[in-house]
Each structure stands twice: as structure tokens, then as C-alpha cells.
């Protein structure tokens, strides 16, 4: 037995780092408080800013009275549209310049008397202390001439207009005549779902420190996109990009909320310029709600038709979501329905209403997280109608090729995910009759739903430097939003170069570094990995070239593809030499190489791939709930997620991300909703005491597993994992609640009163 | 804003008498939130954190006298035997950090209809000891203490010294429904206390009316019709639940609808009485 074990365990796996549950390189700094987040930096003479928020949804400012605020000792300046220096307007968006997408809204803050949403900053107070600034901000009096505003999503929904398609995001589509097929289907469901607006609630509220030195600007901010932030600030303040430095080594959570540039950032920079002082603007939690967009609300219809065996004959998925008059990204709400089921006919439409609210923005799995709630709830309801097990219904309708257009999947293992997951979860214990499983006063329910999120890569420039003493430095302006960005790239580098993990240091979070991809779209790790692989290969080629010049090198005459990088050098079988030896002989103290793809080449490659392939991370959620039969309290009692996310680089951080997505999805299912006053457009619960994210006591043990099969088209075979975890979660909960109680809840969140 | 920091009870009473507008602060779990959100700006804060007497409890005249500053954690750890209802309610408050800081005195001072300690205090006939420098001690029954939303019988020159509760002579239970499992204000709550010696059952409703309140008609029903030797009559249990629900006068708010609250009060009333009755019969049998 011992011998056999040794044979099946390749020797090099003992030293490979990819795949292992490596501790985060910055774990200690974060847990001990050594890690300094944006708001924690200090500059001599630093002043503090606070915002004054508009209290009407739409209107013109008629007068601003700043006298009382200015009279407060310690107040340095009160900036309003009457005295603030001008910023350039936000750029027109263009796919040729992706950083043009960075703008959270199109508003030129403090350059206009126009108010576009209830909460828009209309003045900024700069003072010696944060408390003084906040107090003085409360004394600014603004008189408005109110204009009619459209703020009630539910009331406006019938007036929605069709969403435009883009190259990257089709807004609809048809395959056959789904309307006729639905009408003719022997079995069908036709359901209307709603999901509320939500907010990210990253633990770190947004904060900016802006420091001007002449026409050079330094900004400390936790951002998900250093390159976009830098380009956007340069454009708005009329300085070259090279004059802007963005420092963002740690980001206390993002979830999409720090992917774009919002008012607080711009106003901190503006205030610093106006006062010639370093300025810190740390938003309160309420300030985040008032000035940083959240997830769009949706209304969705999913209608499914099937024959008696459960083969789908019709799939209709339509949605209404919002954007704001002043910006906001239209979401791909029905996107999952393009890919999940092999329906004979499909009809997809997305429509939009435009409201006088703060612009919506990306929030973890935009489109797919809300769309999957509707689609996967409807599939479950169809399974109930048909009397078929919901996993079996999905298995019968699992497509061989992408249902809308017949493109091939690079990789798809949903059948396996369900099969293995069902076994581990104990799905066969489930009695399909609703309300049949009891535990005392608790009704027990089990539900499943599919997770699905498209996979992208974004280009990254990376340099790798290897010194004669063995130290390796990888440089790339990545964003560490909690995912282990530096850790996973160190693992990849250590394996590629064959050096110890401890020898690799990854420098991230600084715009002076080679440009990284943004931390969004679950695309950062793959993009950076492509750059690291490229740079490591070039570096090894340089090392080999040096070695081959020496007559006595054992690597003489060898090609890189024949060699193995291990033990700090390059080897062919037992023969080879260390990088240190190669460098010493050549009299060099280091080697350095750069990797990455230019944007044009990258876009060409991406568009070419999209013509041929569909690729995605996916998975199967298994959820058990207990519902109190008398009070309607829902407790999630067990969870298992079985994912197909390609190759996993770090088992620990990957599990953390997938679990985090599930926790956030449980919040979406049961408690989270941003309450917007339909009369005034003002958010009514802008705090963690009134907006309820799950607490520890709401979350059971969450088992996450993955199939660990590499995707052949992705760097190292990895698929991004930041977002797939949340998709399908709300549906799995709703389906388990349906099983426990017989009640189908169509409106999120599933609150107590909906179960009575 | 003045910050007054008495170190003895006498100093505290003097400070309150001289500055009746001063807002007492104990653990700060309510007051600091209001200050942070600029809900109010009192002219003075009266910090009771240095007044050691407030943090002690003891037996006085057959009652458990719990100092106004005794934190929930202490109630949970030390008073679960004599005051089981209050201890159960204390366990559901906030988070460990909040239970280390928050106190029953603070809960009474804030007089929020959603305060977790009110229902068990009502069910157990608690009496609130208040005092002023110039007029001395008043003993205010909990039933007379709550006057309206966040309004109490406390006079401007008075401070809450302690709450007096007779050690339990029968089973007590507390039940609460929230939108999540911790760190949340109750959607509604209910407490019950059996007083077998008096053949009487006490009740307390939380978050179900402008003030915490008792369900008097439900209590009278049980006093009249409950057979203390026999298993619970299901019809009586149902009527008890209905009368408790009828005692509620809730509102719709972001946490729940009025209709839900009325329903849930009925459920919790039946449920807690059943639990208590099982204990009662079990104890008698033992």
C-alpha cells in the first residue's frame, strides 16, 4: 500500500504551491492591525472634510447659507457650487478606453445648482478635525426649488423601455417562438418575481486622502481599480496620468462598490486643491449609502413550458431594472437564461426605467445574482408541477452546447457538480412532499439551485525580478480587496520559477507599478496569472540564454520546454543548475522580465474567443432550512456548494470567497433590502442597524467543494471565483422554503410575514 | 456639552438635581448611538460609570435588588436562578460586547417599547426604585413606569437606582422574534411568569404597543380558569393566546407588519405558557 501511494503521488507535488491552502501573506498584518487602510494615513497639516447631502430628489439650489458653518472654530473652508474650483465633466464612455467607464455618475459636483438625487453632495466642509467638519456640515442651510422627480421603481415599472444591446452584453434574444410554445406546453409555470435594491456594505466605508504637491496628486483610497481611478482623476482635474499616484495596498472589501469613482473621492481631491491642504474624507456609513450606488431593484417574469417528461419547450425570461438619469450600468438580468437550459424555444428581454436616484452600480454578480433567483426558483416550481426531482429536471435539460447560439462550452461540469454534491449533502434523504419533513416545531426543507457566472480575463502588465540571492519580486498594481491577490500570485510565481514561496514578494496596490487588471468581474486573478506566467517564462528564457553561453553549463543545448523549474533553478532530469549559479557565472546581480498583453491584442483575442466559446464558473447549491411553522422564522441549517471553478490556486482563499458569496446570498435571500422612500427618493435605512446583513448566528457551517478540473482556455485553467458563489443562493433558499412550507415566495427578501 | 462624572450615588443625585437636563449615560449602548447620529445634543451628560453602587446586586426584603448599572452579562451569569425570565431576555440582547456594557437601568431609562428587559420585568411584577436628592426614593411598579414611546415616569431630577424583582417561585420564559438571529431590535417579544403561590400568571408584551404592557385580560382568564393541578386545556391555551394578541396595539414598520406582530404575540403567548406549564407539572411531579 505504501508503495502504491508513493507512485500515485508525483514527487513535485510535495513542493508545488498552487492548489494548497497557503496562508495569506498579509494575514498577520491584517489581523494585528498593522495593515494601514486608506483612512489611517496621516500627513502634516491634514484637514478633514465632510459632505452636506441634498434633501430633495430633484431641483435647483436657490440659496446656500454657509455663515453658521464658517463661524465654527476650526472650519477652514465651505465649498459649494458658488465657490468651488471647477472640475472637468465626466468623459463620454467608450469601449476603446475602458477607464472612461470609471465614472459612478455623470454629475459635475459643486459645479452646478442642479440636484439629481436625494443625497447628492451639495457642499463640502473642510475643517481641522473630522468632528468639526461633520458638525459644521450640519449647519449648512440649503434652499431648493423642487422639480418633479421620478423615484418610485414599482410605480414606474410599467413605463420601462427596451435596454440596448452592446458588444459585450446582449440585452435580449430569441430562439424560435417561445410565446407560442409556452401556450402549447402541456405543463407550464409563469411567475413574477421582485428583488429589492441592495447595498454592498463593505466593512471599510469609502475613504480618500488627497495630497497635492503643485500639479502632482497623491491619493490614498481603497479601490477596486487603481488604473481607472488614476485615469479618471487625471482627466477630471486636467493633469497627466503620470502626475497622479494612487496608493491602495489594502481594500476593506469592495463587492463592486469600489469599482467606480464616486463623489467622495472627487470631492476630497477638489477640497485638497481648493484649500492647499492634504484632505481626508472618510465617509460615514450613511455617507456611503447616500453617495455610492448599489444594486438595482428588479421585476422579472420567468415562464417555463415543458412536455410531460420535463423537457423544456419554452423559456421566457424578461426583466425590468433601473438606471439613473445621471448614470448607472444596465445589468444583464436575464443573462443566465442564455446559458443554463436546453429549451427548444427561448425569449429574453431586458427593459429599463430611468429614475431620479443615485446611479446603480455593480454589486457582486450583477445581473446573475438576481436573475438566477428568478430562473432557478421557476425551475424548482416547474419541478413541483411536474412531480420530478429538481436535480433530475436540471439534468434532463442540461445543454451540450450554448442554447442560444450553439457555441461550444470550453468546459462544463454541472452534471458532475450536482451528482457529487447530492451525494455529499444527502439529497436522497429528502422526502419531496412539501411540509413532510419535521423537527419538532420546525418544518425542514431542502432546496437546490444552479450557480453560474461568466468568466473573463483582463490584461495585466507584470514584471518579475529574480536577484542573485534568490529573492523574487513580482510587481503589478493589483487590488487586494480581501481575496488574497498577492498570495495567489506568489504561489503561481514560486511554482513557475521553482523557488520557495518565502522567496517571492508580490508588490501590489500602487499606480507606480505595472498596470494590473481591476478587481471586478471575477477577472483579476486570471488576468494577473497570465501576466505572471508570461513574465516567468521570459525570465527563465533569459536565465537559460545566459547559461547556454557558458561552455561548462549543464544546460548547454537545452530548450526551455525540456526543463523543469525546481530547487531554485532549471533542471533536465538530475542535471541542471540554480539561477544563483547562472547569475554568478555571468556576473549579473539579477534578471528581470515583463509579461502581459496590450489592450488591442487583448480585445482582439477576447472578441475572437467570444465568437467561438462560452465559458463560465458554475456550481450547485444545496440548502437546508428550518422554518418555524407558527412564526415564519427561517433558519438556514445546512449548506453545501459544489463548484466547477477550474483549477483552484489557493484552497483556503478560494473557500473563503465561495463561502463569502454564499453568506452574502443568504443575506439577499432573507434580510437585505435598501428601503427607498417612494415619495422622496431618500434611503430610509442607511445603516447597519437598519439594513440587515447576516450575523454569525444566521449562518451555519458552509461546506464548499470544487471539482478541480482546469478550464483549457484559461491561464493555469483557473476560472474566477469572486462572484459565482452568490449566484443561485437566494433561489436555493427560496426553494428550500418552498419544500418546507409549500409556499413559493416570489419577492425578496423572504421576511417573516411572507410565510404566514 | 458638559460631561459630569460623579463617583458616588449622592454626587450623582446632586448632579442630576442641579442639572435636570443632564442625560444619564451608563453603558452608552443607546445614548452613544443617539449622539453619534446627532439625534440629540444634551447640554450635559451624566456619566454613571464611576458609581460603584449601581453595579452591584443583592437581596433586600425578599426581593432581588438589581443595581441599575448591572450589565446584562452579570444578569446572565449570576441571576439565571432567581430571575430566569430576565436572564433569558438578557441573553438575546445585541452581541457579547453590548451585553457587557448594556444594563437594565439603561433599558428602563430609554423606555423603548422594544427594550428586551421590559416584558420579563412586567411579568414578574418588578418595581423600579428611583431617587432624587430633594424628594428621596420612590418605588414605581413597572406597570406604571412606561408612559409612552421612549417616555417614562422618571422625573427630571430623578435617577434609576435599581430594579426590585421577587425571585421566581415558578417557571418563567421569554420569547422574541427578530428579522435575524442576533444584533437586531425585536420585531416583537413576550414574557411569561408563573406565580403558583398566588395561582396567577404574569405577562409582558414587547414591541407590540407604544409601551411595553401586560395582557391583563389574558392574565385574568388564567387566574379564573386555570387548573393548577391538571394538564393545560387546549381551548384555554388558545383563548389565552387570543387575549394576549388582542392586548397588542402594534404598528407597521420596516421590521414587520402590525398584523404579523399580533399573530406572533399569540404564538409566543401559547408557546411560552406551554413551556412554563410543562416545567410546572414536571416540577410538581418531581
Is A17 a domain residue? Answer: no
CA distance A185 to A100: 47
If you measure CA to CA, which chain A residue comes closest to B261? A753
Contact between A692 and B180 using a beta-carbon 8 Å cutoff: yes
Residues of A with CB under 8 A from a CB of B: 138, 630-633, 635, 670-671, 675, 684-685, 687, 689-690, 692, 694-698, 751-753, 756
If you measure CA to CA, which chain B residue comes closest to A686? B37
Give yes or no: residues A446 and A497 share one domain.
no
Q: Of A568, A603, A638, which residue is a domain's last?
A: A603
pLDDT at A11: 41
Q: Is the dihedral of CA A137, A143, A149, A155 positive or negative?
A: positive
pLDDT at A15: 66
CA distance A157 to B241: 42
pLDDT at B159: 98
Is A654 a domain residue? Answer: yes
Tell me the pTM: 0.95
Q: Residue A575: left (phi > 0), alpha (psi -120 to 50), or beta?
A: beta
Q: Of A240, A275, A291, which residue is a domain's last?
A: A291
Contact between A752 and B177 using a beta-carbon 8 Å cutoff: yes
Interchain contact B268–A (C-beta under 8 A): yes
Contact between A697 and B182 using a beta-carbon 8 Å cutoff: yes
Contact between A752 and B187 using a beta-carbon 8 Å cutoff: yes
From residue A176, give the alpha-carbon distance in Å to each of A113, A179, A306, A314, A411: 51, 9, 15, 9, 26
Longest Cα–Cα distance of chain B, Å, equals 60
Enumerate the domain spans of chain B.
2-110+126-165, 172-285
From residue A18, give the alpha-carbon distance in Å to each of A22, A485, A651: 9, 13, 9
Q: For residue A415, give its domain range.
A: 156-198+295-321+334-455+615-754
From residue A164, give the alpha-carbon distance in Å to each of A9, A167, A173, A344: 53, 10, 12, 25
A667 class by beta-carbon count within 10 Å (0-12 exposed, 13-18 middle, 19+ buried): buried
Most A CBs within 10 A among B183, B253, B258, B271, hence the mutation to make, goes to B183
Contact between B177 and A685 using a beta-carbon 8 Å cutoff: no
Give the three cell numbers for residue A457: 480575463
Most A CBs within 10 A among B184, B186, B275, hence the mutation to make, goes to B184
CA-nearest of B206, B228, B214 to B281 is: B228
- Quote the Cα angle for A431-A432-A438, to 5°: 50
Helix (H) or strand (E) holding A685: none
Q: A41: how many CB neighbours lie within 10 A of its CB?
A: 16
Give the residue ranges of chain B where pLDDT is below 50. Answer: none
Contact between A752 and B264 using a beta-carbon 8 Å cutoff: yes
> Chain B closest CA to A440's CA: distance in Å?
13
Give yes or no: residues A425 and A300 share one domain.
yes
Contact between B254 and A698 using a beta-carbon 8 Å cutoff: no
Q: What is the CATH number of the domain that holds A179?
A: 3.30.365.10
- The backbone torsions φ and ψ at residue B131, rounded to the nearest 5 degrees and listed phi first, read -150, 145
Give yes or no: residues A563 and A576 share one domain.
yes
CA-nearest of A177, A469, A185, A128 to A313 is: A185
Q: Which residues in chain B have Cβ-Cβ distances shorter than 8 Å to A138?
A: 38
- Least CB-CB distance to B256: which of A630, A696, A753? A753
pLDDT at B286: 61
Contact A714, A440 (CB under 8 A): no
From residue A122, give the alpha-carbon distance in Å to each of A60, A71, A91, A221: 11, 19, 21, 22
Contact between A697 and B177 using a beta-carbon 8 Å cutoff: no
User: Number of A:B CB contacts under 8 A?
Assistant: 51
Mean pLDDT lowest among A165-169, A277-281, A638-642, A644-648:
A165-169
If you measure CA to CA, which chain B residue comes closest to A137? B38
Contact between B254 and A694 using a beta-carbon 8 Å cutoff: no
Q: Residue A367: left (phi > 0), alpha (psi -120 to 50), or beta?
A: left
If you measure CA to CA, which chain B residue comes closest to A666? B180
- The backbone torsions φ and ψ at residue A151, rounded to the nearest 5 degrees and listed phi first, read -130, -5
- The backbone torsions φ and ψ at residue A593, rounded to the nearest 5 degrees and listed phi first, read -145, 150
Q: Which residues in chain A have Cβ-Cβ distances shorter than 8 Å to B258?
A: none
Contact between A753 and B257 using a beta-carbon 8 Å cutoff: yes
> Chain A closest CA to B113's CA: distance in Å?
17
Give yes or no: residues A351 and A398 share one domain.
yes
Asked whether the bond before A281 is cis by omega within 30 degrees of 0, the reply is no
Give yes or no: residues A81 and A208 share one domain.
yes
Give yes or no: residues A367 and A451 share one domain.
yes
Q: Do the first three CATH levels of B2-110+126-165 and B172-285 match, i.e. the same topology?
A: no
Longest Cα–Cα distance of chain A, Å, equals 85
Most B CBs within 10 A among A684, A692, A750, hence the mutation to make, goes to A692
Helix (H) or strand (E) holding A179: helix A178-184
Contact B58, B38 (CB under 8 A): no
pLDDT at B255: 80
A158 half-sphere exposure, CB direction, 13 A CA radius? 1
Which runs of E-coded beta strand occur in B61-217? 63-67, 127-132, 136-141, 146-148, 151-152, 159-165, 172-177, 188-195, 200-206
Most B CBs within 10 A among A666, A689, A752, hence the mutation to make, goes to A752
Give yes or no: residues A641 and A739 share one domain.
yes
Is A124 a domain residue? Answer: yes
What average pLDDT is seen over chain A? 95
Helix (H) or strand (E) holding B134: none
Q: Interface pTM (ipTM) of the complex?
A: 0.92
- Least CB-CB distance to B260: which of A687, A690, A752? A752
Q: Which residues in chain B have Cβ-Cβ distances shorter than 8 Å to A694?
A: 180
pLDDT at A96: 74
Name the domain count of chain A. Answer: 3
> Chain B closest CA to A472's CA: distance in Å?
44
pLDDT of residue A609 exceeding 90: no
Contact between B263 and A756 using a beta-carbon 8 Å cutoff: yes
CA distance A647 to A662: 20
What's A394-454 look like in SS3?
Answer: HHHCCCCCCCCCCCEECCCCHHHHHHHHHHHHCHHHCCCCCCCEEECCEEEEEEEEEEEEE
pLDDT band at A84 (very low <50, low <70, confident <90, very high): very high
Q: Which residues in chain A have Cβ-Cβ distances shorter than 8 Å to B179?
A: 671, 692, 751-752
Q: Which residues in chain A have Cβ-Cβ distances shorter than 8 Å to B96?
A: none
Sequential DSSP letters for A486-527: HHHHHHHHHHHHT--GGGEEEE-SBTTSSB---S-TT-HHHH
Give yes or no: residues A489 and A558 share one domain.
yes
Helix (H) or strand (E) holding A221: strand A216-221
Domain B172-285: give its CATH superfamily. CO dehydrogenase flavoprotein, C-terminal domain (3.30.390.50)
> Chain B closest CA to A306's CA: distance in Å?
37
Task: Find the length of chain B.
Answer: 286
Most A CBs within 10 A among B39, B238, B260, hence the mutation to make, goes to B260
Give yes or no: residues A554 and A666 share one domain.
no
Average pLDDT over residues A122-130: 98
pLDDT of residue A10 exceeding 60: no
Residue with cell 433558519: A635
Q: Which residues in chain B have Cβ-Cβ distances shorter than 8 Å to A752?
A: 177, 179, 187, 256, 260, 264
> Chain B closest CA to A725's CA: distance in Å?
22
> Chain B closest CA to A754's CA: distance in Å?
9
A45 class by beta-carbon count within 10 Å (0-12 exposed, 13-18 middle, 19+ buried): exposed
Q: A684: how many CB neighbours lie within 10 A of its CB?
A: 13
Is A235 a domain residue? Answer: yes
pLDDT at A585: 94
Contact between A695 and B180 using a beta-carbon 8 Å cutoff: yes
Residues of A acting as catalytic residues: 723
pLDDT at A14: 54
Q: Which residues in chain B have Cβ-Cβ distances shorter than 8 Å to A748?
A: none
Task: Give the pLDDT confidence of A190-214 residue by residue, as tens digits.
Answer: 999 999 999 999 999 999 999 999 9
Contact between A671 and B182 using a beta-carbon 8 Å cutoff: no
Interchain contact B235–A (C-beta under 8 A): no
Is A388 a domain residue? Answer: yes
CA-nearest of A389, A281, A219 to A52 is: A281
Give the domain B2-110+126-165 fold. 3.30.465
A306 half-sphere exposure, CB direction, 13 A CA radius? 27
Contact between B179 and A630 using a beta-carbon 8 Å cutoff: no
> What are A295's strand-pairing partners?
A198
Give yes or no: residues A466 and A535 share one domain.
yes
Give yes or no: residues A232 and A111 share one domain.
yes
Interchain contact B267–A (C-beta under 8 A): yes
Interchain contact B260–A (C-beta under 8 A): yes
pLDDT of residue A401 exceeding 50: yes
Give yes or no: residues A141 and A161 share one domain.
no
Average pLDDT over residues A160-166: 91
Q: Which residues in chain B have Cβ-Cβ distances shorter than 8 Å to A685?
A: 254
> Chain B closest CA to A693's CA: distance in Å?
9
Contact between A631 and B264 using a beta-carbon 8 Å cutoff: yes
Contact between B268 and A631 using a beta-carbon 8 Å cutoff: yes
CA A5: distance to chain centroid?
40
CA distance A655 to A616: 18
Contact between B260 and A670 using a beta-carbon 8 Å cutoff: no
pLDDT of residue A171 exceeding 90: no
Amino acid at each position: 500500500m505504501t508503495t502504491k501511494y508513493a507512485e500515485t503521488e508525483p514527487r513535485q507535488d510535495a513542493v508545488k504551491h498552487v492548489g494548497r491552502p497557503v496562508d495569506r501573506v498579509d494575514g498577520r498584518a491584517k489581523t494585528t492591525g498593522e495593515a494601514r487602510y486608506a483612512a489611517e494615513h496621516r500627513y502634516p497639516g491634514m484637514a478633514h472634510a465632510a459632505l452636506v447631502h441634498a434633501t430633495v430628489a430633484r431641483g435647483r439650489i436657490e440659496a446656500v447659507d454657509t455663515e453658521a458653518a464658517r463661524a465654527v472654530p476650526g472650519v477652514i473652508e465651505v465649498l459649494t457650487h458658488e465657490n468651488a474650483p471647477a472640475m472637468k465633466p465626466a468623459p463620454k464612455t467608450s469601449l476603446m478606453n475602458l477607464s472612461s467607464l470609471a465614472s459612478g455618475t455623470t454629475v459635475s459636483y459643486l459645479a452646478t445648482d442642479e440636484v439629481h438625487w436625494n443625497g447628492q453632495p451639495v457642499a463640502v466642509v473642510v475643517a481641522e478635525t473630522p468632528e468639526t467638519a461633520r458638525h459644521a456640515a450640519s449647519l449648512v442651510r440649503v434652499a431648493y426649488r423642487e422639480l418633479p422627480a421620478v423615484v418610485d421603481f414599482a410605480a414606474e415599472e410599467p413605463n420601462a423601455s427596451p435596454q440596448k444591446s452592446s458588444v459585450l452584453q446582449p440585452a435580449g434574444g430569441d430562439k424560435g417562438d417561445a410565446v407560442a410554445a409556452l401556450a402549447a406546453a402541456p405543463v407550464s409555470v409563469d411567475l413574477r418575481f421582485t428583488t429589492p435594491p441592495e447595498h454592498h456594505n463593505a466593512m471599510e466605508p469609502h475613504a480618500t486622502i488627497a495630497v497635492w504637491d503643485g500639479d502632482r496628486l497623491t491619493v490614498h483610497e481603497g479601490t477596486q481599480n487603481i488604473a481607472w481611478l488614476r485615469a479618471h482623476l487625471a482627466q477630471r482635474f486636467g493633469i497627466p496620468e503620470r502626475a497622479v499616484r494612487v496608493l491602495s495596498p489594502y481594500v476593506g472589501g469592495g463587492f463592486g462598490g469600489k469599482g467606480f469613482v464616486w463623489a467622495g473621492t472627487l470631492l476630497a481631491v477638489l477640497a485638497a486643491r481648493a484649500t492647499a491642504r492634504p484632505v481626508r474624507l472618510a465617509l460615514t456609513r450613511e455617507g456611503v449609502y447616500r453617495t455610492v450606488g448599489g444594486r438595482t431593484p428588479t421585476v422579472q417574469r420567468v415562464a417555463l413550458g415543458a412536455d410531460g417528461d420535463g423537457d423544456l419547450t419554452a423559456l421566457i425570461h424578461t426583466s425590468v431594472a433601473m438606471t439613473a438619469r445621471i448614470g448607472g450600468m444596465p445589468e444583464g438580468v436575464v443573462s443566465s437564461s442564455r446559458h443554463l437550459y436546453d429549451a427548444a424555444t427561448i425569449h429574453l428581454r431586458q427593459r429599463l426605467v430611468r429614475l431620479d436616484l443615485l446611479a446603480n452600480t455593480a454589486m457582486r454578480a450583477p445581473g446573475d445574482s438576481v436573475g438566477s433567483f428568478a430562473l432557478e426558483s421557476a425551475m424548482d416550481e416547474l419541478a413541483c408541477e411536474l412531480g420530478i426531482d429538481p436535480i433530475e429536471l436540471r439534468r434532463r435539460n442540461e445543454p451540450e452546447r450554448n442554447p442560444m447560439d450553439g457555441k461550444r462550452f470550453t468546459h462544463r461540469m454541472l452534471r458532475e457538480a450536482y451528482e457529487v454534491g447530492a451525494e455529499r449533502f444527502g439529497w436522497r434523504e429528502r422526502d419531496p412532499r412539501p411540509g413532510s419533513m419535521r423537527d419538532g416545531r420546525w418544518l425542514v426543507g431542502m432546496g437546490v439551485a444552479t450557480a453560474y457566472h461568466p468568466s473573463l480575463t483582463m490584461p495585466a502588465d507584470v514584471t518579475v525580478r529574480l536577484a542573485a540571492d534568490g529573492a523574487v519580486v513580482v510587481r503589478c498594481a493589483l487590488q487586494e480587496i480581501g481575496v488574497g491577490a498577492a498570495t495567489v500570485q506568489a504561489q503561481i510565481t514560486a511554482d513557475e520559477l521553482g523557488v520557495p514561496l518565502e522567496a517571492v514578494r508580490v508588490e501590489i496596490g500602487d499606480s507606480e507599478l505595472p498596470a494590473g487588471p481591476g478587481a471586478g468581474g471575477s477577472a483579476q486573478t486570471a488576468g494577473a496569472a497570465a501576466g505572471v506566467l508570461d513574465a516567468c517564462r521570459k525570465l527563465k528564457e533569459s536565465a537559460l540564454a545566459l547559461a547556454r553561453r557558458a561552455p561548462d553549463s549543464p544546460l548547454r543545448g537545452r530548450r526551455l520546454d525540456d526543463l523543469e523549474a525546481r530547487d531554485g533553478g532549471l533542471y533536465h532530469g538530475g542535471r541542471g543548475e540554480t539561477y544563483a549559479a547562472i547569475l554568478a557565472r555571468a556576473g549579473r546581480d539579477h534578471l528581470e522580465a515583463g509579461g502581459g498583453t496590450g489592450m488591442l491584442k487583448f480585445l482582439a483575442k477576447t472578441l475572437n474567443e467570444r465568437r467561438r466559446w462560452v465559458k463560465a464558473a458554475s456550481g450547485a447549491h444545496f440548502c437546508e432550512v428550518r422554518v418555524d411553522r407558527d412564526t415564519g422564522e427561517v433558519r438556514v441549517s445546512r449548506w453545501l456548494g459544489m463548484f466547477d471553478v477550474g483549477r483552484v490556486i489557493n484552497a483556503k482563499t478560494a473557500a473563503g470567497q465561495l463561502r463569502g458569496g454564499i453568506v452574502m446570498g443568504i443575506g439577499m435571500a432573507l434580510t437585505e433590502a435598501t428601503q427607498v422612500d417612494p415619495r422622496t427618493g431618500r434611503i430610509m435605512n442607511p445603516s447597519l442597524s437598519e439594513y440587515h446583513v447576516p450575523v454569525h448566528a444566521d449562518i451555519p457551517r458552509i461546506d464548499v467543494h470544487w471539482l478541480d478540473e482546469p478550464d483549457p482556455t484559461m491561464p493555469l485553467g483557473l476560472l474566477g471565483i469572486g462572484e459565482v458563489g452568490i449566484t443561485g443562493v437566494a433561489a436555493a433558499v427560496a426553494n428550500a422554503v418552498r419544500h418546507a412550507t409549500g409556499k413559493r415566495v416570489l419577492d425578496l427578501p423572504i421576511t417573516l410575514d411572507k410565510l404566514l | 456639552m458638559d460631561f459630569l462624572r460623579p463617583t458616588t450615588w449622592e454626587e450623582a443625585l446632586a448632579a442630576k438635581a442641579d442639572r435636570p437636563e443632564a442625560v444619564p449615560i451608563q453603558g452608552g449602548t443607546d445614548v452613544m448611538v443617539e449622539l453619534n447620529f446627532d439625534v440629540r445634543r444634551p447640554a450635559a451628560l451624566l456619566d454613571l460609570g464611576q458609581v460603584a453602587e449601581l453595579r452591584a446586586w443583592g437581596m433586600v426584603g425578599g426581593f432581588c435588588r438589581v443595581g441599575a448599572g448591572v450589565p446584562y452579562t452579570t444578569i446572565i451569569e449570576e441571576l439565571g436562578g432567581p430571575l430566569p425570565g430576565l436572564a433569558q431576555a438578557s441573553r438575546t440582547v445585541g452581541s457579547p460586547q453590548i451585553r457587557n456594557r448594556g444594563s437594565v437601568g439603561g433599558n428602563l431609562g430609554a423606555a423603548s417599547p422594544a427594550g428586551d428587559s421590559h416584558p420579563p420585568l412586567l411579568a414578574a411584577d418588578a418595581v423600579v426604585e428611583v431617587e432624587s436628592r430633594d424628594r428621596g426614593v420612590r418605588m414605581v411598579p413597572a406597570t406604571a413606569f412606561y408612559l409612552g414611546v421612549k417616555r417614562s415616569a422618571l422625573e427630571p431630577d430623578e435617577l434609576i437606582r435599581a430594579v426590585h424583582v421577587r425571585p421566581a417561585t415558578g417557571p418563567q420564559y421569554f420569547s422574541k422574534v427578530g428579522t435575524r438571529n442576533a444584533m437586531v431590535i425585536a420585531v416583537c417579544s413576550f414574557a411569561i411568569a408563573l406565580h403558583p403561590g398566588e395561582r396567577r400568571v404574569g405577562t409582558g408584551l414587547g414591541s407590540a404597543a407604544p409601551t411595553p404592557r401586560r395582557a391583563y385580560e389574558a392574565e385574568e382568564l388564567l387566574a379564573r380558569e386555570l387548573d393548577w393541578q391538571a394538564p393545560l386545556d387546549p381551548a384555554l391555551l388558545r383563548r389565552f393566546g387570543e387575549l394576549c394578541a388582542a392586548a397588542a396595539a402594534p404598528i407597521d414598520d420596516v421590521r414587520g407588519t402590525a398584523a404579523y406582530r399580533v399573530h406572533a404575540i399569540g404564538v409566543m403567548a401559547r408557546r411560552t405558557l406551554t413551556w412554563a406549564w410543562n416545567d410546572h407539572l414536571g416540577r410538581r411531579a418531581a
